[in-house]
Amino acid sequence: MVSIARKHLLEDIPRFLVAQAGIMFAVSLVTIQAGIFTGFIRSTTQLIDNSSADIWLASASLVHTELTLPIPLAHLNQAREVEGVERAEALIIKSGVWRDRTDEIAVVRLVGFDPDGRLFIPQNITQGSLSAIKAPYTAIVDSTNLKSLNVSKVGDVAQISTLPVELVGLTQGNRSIASNPFIFTDLANSNAYANSGQVANLSCKLPSGSGDIQCTNTFTKPDPNATEPPKDLTSADTISFILIQARSGENIQALQQRLESAIPDTRAYTREELTQKTQQFWQQRTGIGFILGLGAGVGVIVGGIIVGQILYSSVSDRLQEYGTLKAMGASDRIIYGAIVEQAVWMAVLGYFPGMALCWAVGIWTFATQGIVILITPTIAIAVFGISVVMCVGSAIFAIQKVIRLDPATVFKG
């Protein structure tokens, strides 16, 4: 029966190619949708992945990494005095308004940290160095965000709020699908940008005659030579997180409790806890999972319909062959097995090219857009199972025609 299944599969090459195209479409759609979802969830914790801290101390009102209330810088010194703390560093995550040389604006995410520290270091710095952001009004961005920020290379100058910013470095792979472009800089620069006010001045005038009031936005570009260097943070300033490195052998849970007791209105999270909390927010409180799942479901349905039509047509064209086999004493199990085997071969031969296409698309999107389509082994295995179930399920409809077949019809006429 193996020879019959293969013979029927390859006998009509155009029909076979159409069927494989349908399966490839279904495999690719399901895999890419699942990969985008997994990559999206992974990208929401991009900032956590840049840190080696054991504990993240934040406001008790934290929702996720980029949605939290500020805490006073004074808490940093308090944290350093807690027993079991080896090292503590401040981290600022705030919003800013980027304005390029053409006066186009964009919302950016300011990430301020200590470039001499150890607990937060942007990954994969491809140009420049961390020490460069110690200079006033300098920053590092991801290379995949250059186009959206309308800059092209290290040394380009733009503006954040009312202050200048010079690009002094680039990274690769620090883009989050869920966030605005990250602007990595030191604590003093990020604090100055966050508190520098608006970039636009609105001026209006009343016309002499009848008509509407006319208003215009006027921008004043800062003079870098006249701009004072940013001031170091004081206890009156606020930060977003305190990154904690525990002493060797320290019980992390006990240290979390001591930190929360010593510093009121705060919550201490391990890396795993903060990652889980952030990812759960995007999974449960947004509709992205439903939308991507809907797209994957459509792929399965479309692929199943195509395969079902091909198999049903193939069986209909060969009813006399199946009737002859029945008349010769072949059991229904043998005949049904040939049809199901044909469906399994279609699933396997459509799966591997579809998966290869998805890997190629994933590599291209990461290299050009910085967007991760994360195809894990679990996803690959699950999609293979879906492909087989889809094709075998389609074969069941084709089998119904054989079930009702009377072998005597083969000898009529």
Q: Sorting pLDDT into bands at 50, 70 and 90, what band is 367?
A: confident
* pLDDT at residue 61 tops 70: yes
405 Rama class: left (phi>0) / alpha (psi -120 to 50) / beta: beta
Report the chain's mean pLDDT, rounded to a whole number.
83
Which tokens is 124 given? 């994969």
Predicted pLDDT of residue 190: 94
Region of poorest pLDDT, from 45-54, 82-91, 194-203: 194-203
The pTM of this model reads: 0.77
Domain ranges of the chain: 2-43+287-411, 61-264
Which of these, 275, 274, 350, lies nearest to 307 by C-alpha position? 350
- Alpha helices, DSSP H, located in 179-331: 187-194, 252-262, 271-284, 288-317, 319-327
Rounded Cα–Cα distance for residues 351 and 383 (Å): 8
* DSSP SS3 for 238: strand
- The pLDDT value recorded for residue 370 is 74
Tens of pLDDT, residue by residue over 206-235, are 566 555 656 555 545 555 554 688 888 888
How many residues are there in the chain?
Answer: 413
